[in-house]
Amino acid sequence: MKRKRFSATMFSLCFCVLLTAQNINIIPQPKMVEMKEGYFTLTEKTLICFNDQQLKFLADYTSDNIRLLNKLELHVNSLTGDKKIARSINLILDNKLSIAEEGYVLSVFPKEILVQAKTSQGLFYGVQTLLQLIPVNGDRKVPSLLINDEPRFVWRGLMLDVSRHFFTIDEVKRLIDEMVVYKFNILHLHLTDDQGWRIEIKKLPELTRKGAWRVPRMGLWWDRECPKEGEEATYGGFYTQEEIKDLVRYAMQRHVNILPEIDVPGHSLAAIASYSYLSSSGLPYKVNPGCKFYGHDDNSLCAGKESTFEFLNTVFTEVAELFPFEYIHIGGDECFKGFWEKCKDCRKRMKDNGLKDANELQSYFIRRLEKMLLDKGKKLIGWDEILEGGLAPNATVMSWRGINGGIAAAKANHHVVMSPNNYAYLDLYQGDPAIEPPTYGMLRLNKVYSFEPVPEGVDPSYILGGQGNLWAESVPTFRQAEYMYWPRAFALAEVLWSPKESKDWNGFINRTEANLQRLSYEDINYSRSFYDAVITPLKDEKGHLLIQLSTEIEGLDLFYSFDNTYPDHHSLLYKNGQKLMIPKDADTFRVVTYKEGKPAGRMITVPLTDLAKRVK
């Protein structure tokens, strides 16, 4: 699969700037940019040269992407010794450089482009920055400059939930191609859940024969009809082990580690539907299609039966062989323990091991998993519920219920990946619910950009980094997944790579607008919700509904109506800070944003009865 890439011309804030880089639109913002005079002009005679054979893939990759960006075919050439070729792009690997492992130095001169790093990974990121400098409008001039750059965090992740909705290998590869542009280096695949088992386990064939398929349903999640007796399960899919190996190779070439997640002991209905002995109840179940079941169906693996751990050992043995990344994610979240409390095997396990409650039984479960993974040369990482009942000795915590779980883990000297739902859950609304696909909660672009992974009072050495998670209950297609990732993942990329001190919301928006043009060029879907009006309903002291408007970004005009007309720049103009009173018998509110006299955001139409329900 040839990667389609995008990015931008490049803007950068730097502490050592000699000239202002007003037309540079790089995301994430580099650590240091020094503008120079002049340009390097790409021509058909420009070569891409490399000084180490392990860089052959990177040279070809660079050539492929320049052809996609600028319709310019550049040949690659291997360098001899320390020789560099003038009027060329020289990729130089030098392990003696005094820079970070993932750092790079990019120098653009009028007669040469030089990318240097001590590792191939650093060079790869330098190339990403260079590609963002190459225009897509036919212009072949690259501005002269010096960039010295390195990441703030080692863990810069995105998660894709492939259980709730299945995404093909080619779609996952496309996501890898999109995320590396912004220097993400970890793809977390949520491979198993109540709604589907997505990875072939050769010794347990029912997991994909039964667990990978469910009855077809549409409509709102949790409002769907449960499977009927005799109804055929036709919706789903899974990855064969050969497909996984191919995907891992593809990712590693692009310096992305794939983190597999096998979610246990809860969220296991797809596994239990395949092998009923795995649950405490032992009852037959079907893979859930998105209907309500929590607390009614037994979706937690039995912690009392040894057969459960034999099953998991088989699963993790094959998973560990497929994924070279040092971590395996075991989930550990939202485990319903009601069936454990009634289970004679679980009660016996608790008695035999001196466990006082079901939380300690889950801790016992996780500790056994940690030992199991250590025996296979892997480290355990799980959602912050693994703290309950006591944390396994060497576990890493992915903190999703806010940051408190991460704080507790770090203070107990455990490594942490910060992924709080109020900053990093990319399945949440990013604009007004009246015009967005149905989900829950709100996470606007500016909130993501304000994310700080290191809380006050926490030793930063325990914070590996952060991650954005896309749960797929309301994401049935890859096109929709792109819409949910971008541009919020731009903000995460900058949070996780760039220096904390360099944050600049207005500058980020300028660079985002330039990058969105690249996404359009590459036919990558994205959201423009940050251009939309933000509607805040409230009530006065008499209980009358009022409406206050605002915007995420500066420079927008808001035009509105109550009279069932569609507002434009001739309609009522909102004045900042106004509290709009509702005219008598009005039933609908509409608002649209303009920028520099042209429509910017989408028309939002909301019944006033719906707005009244939003008042907190």
Three-state SS for 517-572 is: HHHHHCCCCCCCHHHCEEEEEEECCCCCEEEEEEECCCCCEEEEECCCCCCCCCCE
**Residue 172 CB neighbours (<10 A):** 22
267 is catalytic: yes
**Alpha-carbon span 466 to 442, nearest angstrom:** 19
Which residue in 60, 242, 310, 334 is the catalytic one? Answer: 334
Q: What Cα–Cα distance (Å) separates residue 192 from each residue in 246, 247, 316, 399? A: 20, 17, 13, 19
Q: Contact, 546 vs 28, CB < 8 A?
A: no
Contacts of 615 (CB under 8 A, 6+ apart): 537, 538, 539, 545
- Coil, strand, or helix at residue 280? coil
Kindly state the greatest CA–CA separation across the chain.
Answer: 82
3-state helix, strand, coil in the chain (%, to 5): 30, 25, 45
In the structure encoding, which two tokens stand for residue 383, read together?
């959602």
- Coil, strand, or helix at residue 424? helix
Q: What Cα–Cα distance (Å) separates residue 7 from each residue in 47, 154, 379? A: 22, 22, 34
In the structure encoding, which two tokens stand for residue 407, read together?
């704080």
**Alpha-carbon span 294 to 429, nearest angstrom:** 24
Which residue in 165, 190, 255, 267 is the catalytic one? Answer: 267
Nearest C-alpha neighbor of 593 from the set 506, 505, 528: 528
Nearest C-alpha neighbor of 179 from the set 32, 7, 30: 7
**Alpha-carbon span 361 to 303, nearest angstrom:** 7
Query: Which phi-psi region, left, alpha or beta, contains residue 132 (left: φ > 0; alpha: ψ -120 to 50)?
Result: alpha
**Alpha-carbon span 113 to 109, nearest angstrom:** 6
- The burial class, CB within 10 Å (0-12 / 13-18 / 19+), for 374 is middle
**Residue at token pair 């050439």:** 77
334 is catalytic: yes
**Alpha-carbon span 426 to 405, nearest angstrom:** 20
Query: Can the peptide bond before residue 28 be classed as cis, meaning omega within 30 degrees of 0?
Result: yes
- The burial class, CB within 10 Å (0-12 / 13-18 / 19+), for 15 is exposed
Q: Contact, 574 vs 601, CB < 8 A?
A: no
**Alpha-carbon span 133 to 107, nearest angstrom:** 12
The whole-angstrom distance between residue 368's C-alpha and the CA centroid of its chain comes to: 29
Q: Contact, 509 vs 495, CB < 8 A?
A: no
Q: Contact, 545 vs 608, CB < 8 A?
A: yes
Which residue in 149, 193, 194, 298 is the catalytic one? Answer: 193
In the structure encoding, which two tokens stand for residue 388, read together?
């309950």
Q: What Cα–Cα distance (Å) separates residue 188 from each residue in 83, 233, 454? A: 41, 27, 21
Nearest C-alpha neighbor of 515 from the set 568, 445, 571, 453: 445
Q: Contact, 520 vs 482, CB < 8 A?
A: no
**Alpha-carbon span 239 to 250, nearest angstrom:** 15
Residues belonging to the active site: 193, 267, 334
